[in-house]
Amino acid sequence: MSASKKSIEPMLEDIASQIRGMKSDSLALPDILKLADVMVVSMRGFFDQLDASIYKELTDVSAFINNARSEIGRLQPANLKEKHFPEAGKELDAIVQSTEAATNTIMEQAELIMEADPEDMEAYHATVQAGIMEIFQACSFQDITGQRISKVVSTLVHIEEKIGALADVLGSSIEEVPIEETAEEKRARELLLNGPALEGEGIDQSEVDDLMGDASSQDDIDALFD
Amino acid sequence: MAVDLSMPVLVVDDYKTMIRIIRNLLKQLGFTNVDDAADGTEALAKMRGRPYGLVISDWNMEPMTGYELLKEVRSDDQLKPTPFIMITAESKTENVIAAKKAGVNNYIVKPFNAATLKTKITAVLGDF
């Protein structure tokens, strides 16, 4: 572009100086068209180069979109939404229901045993035997629950693998957008706990006792917050 | 002075099974007058209706958590002296400290057994 630009510059300057010398009301249309023609010639090289760089950019963007679309296709979002998520939800609901039912059965039997009158030895023995049998049967929920949990874990692993592959394709181009915390989320974060800790996490009863014992004065407690 | 086992005890938990477990444990320990509430709001209303000799509360409840209940109790002149034991499934140092700072009398980590419950009640109320 620089060579053509050099050869055209004197022509442009020449036309421009002619136009500068004219009165504005005496500008002829051929002069203006001539200037426009020279400008088009001078800019063609620039646009040619621009087209090539834009074309490359667009090709890269197209390849990126195709790759991402292909990965999203492998993710099978419709399958996740219509099959995997609902099934995992149903399994978890079933786990909650079965553990609740089993707990109720076990507690009912334990309460019956606790309240049985040991004075009547025969009736007491029968109540205890029947209660123990019911408790054993109720404990079978653990086997079924274990199988249900395995299915949910498989679904989570499946989703993790698919999203991991998608993240690899998108790579560093993903800009993590900060999520604004809702009032409900803020309250939950500040006031509600996150549920049971896993083994090795959190602190146990003896450590809690130490904290309750050691931090015996308000000053001690305040110092822990500094 | 011996603990009056007929004094009203309030168990606060949004999980019915846990209320049932604590009720049965208290019964085994000899307490005969156990009441319950499903969250801090209900507990506070009950506490303002009658005096309780002991409150045993879960932390994680909505709409009012056990921690909020504790702070309400400690800021109310009439309810302030009520012994308060917190029970939670999650035990983080900062939570224990926050509860202690708010005036909790003792703190139990789930799961717990009758012996732990008895030890903590004894630490708060004395031998029984």
Mutation site, A100, A193, A224, interface B, largest B CB count within 10 A: A193
Strands B9-12 and B34-37: parallel
Q: What is the block-wise mean pLDDT of chain A (226 residues), using blocks of 10 residues?
A: 56 71 68 77 74 81 83 77 87 91 93 93 94 91 87 88 81 74 81 72 82 59 49
Among chain B, residues having any CB pair with chain A shorter than 8 Å are 17, 20-21, 24, 27-28, 59-60, 62, 65, 67-68, 88-93, 95-97, 100-101, 106-110, 112, 116
- At residue B86, the pLDDT reads 95
Query: Which amino acid type is present at position A87?
Result: E
- What local confidence, expressed as pLDDT, does residue A121 receive? 94
A221 interfaces chain B, CB cutoff of 8 Å: yes
Q: Are residues B78 and B113 in contact, defined by beta-carbon separation less than 8 angstroms?
A: no
> Which ipTM value was assigned to this complex?
0.74
Kindly state whether A195 is in contact with chain B, defined as any CB-CB distance less than 8 angstroms. Answer: yes
Return the half-sphere exposure (C-beta side, CA atoms, 13 A cut-off) of residue A202.
20
DSSP B111: S
Neighbouring C-beta atoms of residue A63, cutoff 10 Å: 10
Interface A-B: count of C-beta contacts within 8 A: 79
Query: Which of the pair, A36 or B126, is modelled with greater confidence?
Result: B126
Chain B residue numbers touching A207 (CB-CB < 8 A):
91, 93
User: Distance between CA atoms of A187 and B61, rounded to whole angstroms?
Assistant: 12
The tokens for B57 are: 């509360």
Mark yes or no for CB contact B91/A203 under 8 Å.
yes
**Is B14 a residue whose pLDDT tops 80?**
yes
Judged by a CB distance cut-off of 8 A, whether residue A146 touches chain B is: no
Distance from CA of B46 to the nearest CA of A (A): 22
Supply the pLDDT for residue A2: 46
Please say whether the beta carbons of A127 and A113 come within 8 A. yes
Contact A195, B89 (CB under 8 A): yes
Nearest CA in chain A to B106: A212
pTM: predicted TM-score of the whole model, two decimal places: 0.67
With tokens 């005096």, the residue in question is B51
Among B13, B58, B61, B96, the strongest candidate for a mutation testing the A interface, having the largest count of A CBs within 10 A, is B96
**Averaged confidence pLDDT in chain B:** 93
Partner-chain residue, chosen from B68, B88, B107, that has the shortest CB–CB distance to A193: B88
Residue A171, sorted as left (phi over 0), alpha (psi -120 to 50) or beta, turns out to be left
Question: Residue A209: its pLDDT value, please?
Answer: 86
CA B75 to centroid of chain Cα atoms:
17
Q: How many alpha carbons lie under 13 Å from residue A54 in its C-beta half-sphere?
A: 6
Scan for tokens 């079933």, then name that residue. A94
pLDDT surpasses 50 at B21: yes
> What confidence tens digit (pLDDT) does each residue in B74-125 have?
999 999 999 999 998 877 888 888 999 999 999 998 888 889 999 999 999 9
Complete DSSP assignment for chain A: -HHHHHHHHHHHHHHHHHHHHS-GGG--HHHHHHHHHHHHHHHHHHHHHHHHHHHHHHHHHHHHHHHHHHHHHHH-HHHIIIIIHHHHHHHHHHHHHHHHHHHHHHHHHHHHHHHS-TTSHHHHHHHHHHHHHHHHHHTTHHHHHHHHHHHHHHHHHHHHHHHHHHHHHHGGGPPPPPPPPPHHHHHHHHHS---PPPTTSS--HHHHHHHHHHS-SHHHHHHHH-
Min distance A136 CA to chain B CA atoms (Å): 19
Contact flag A225-B65 (C-beta cutoff 8 Å): no
> What does the radius of gyration of chain A's CA atoms come to, in whole angstroms?
39
Residue where the block lists tokens 């274990």? A146
- Which pLDDT score, from 0 to 100, does residue A34 have? 77
CB contact (8 A) between residue B116 and residue A205: yes
* Cα Rg of chain B, angstroms: 13
3-state secondary structure of B73: helix
Which H or E element spans position B84?
A: strand B84-88
Task: Tell me the CA distances in angstroms from A38 to A18, A41, A52, one per residue in order.
Answer: 14, 5, 23
Helix (H, G, I), strand (E, B) or coil at B50: coil
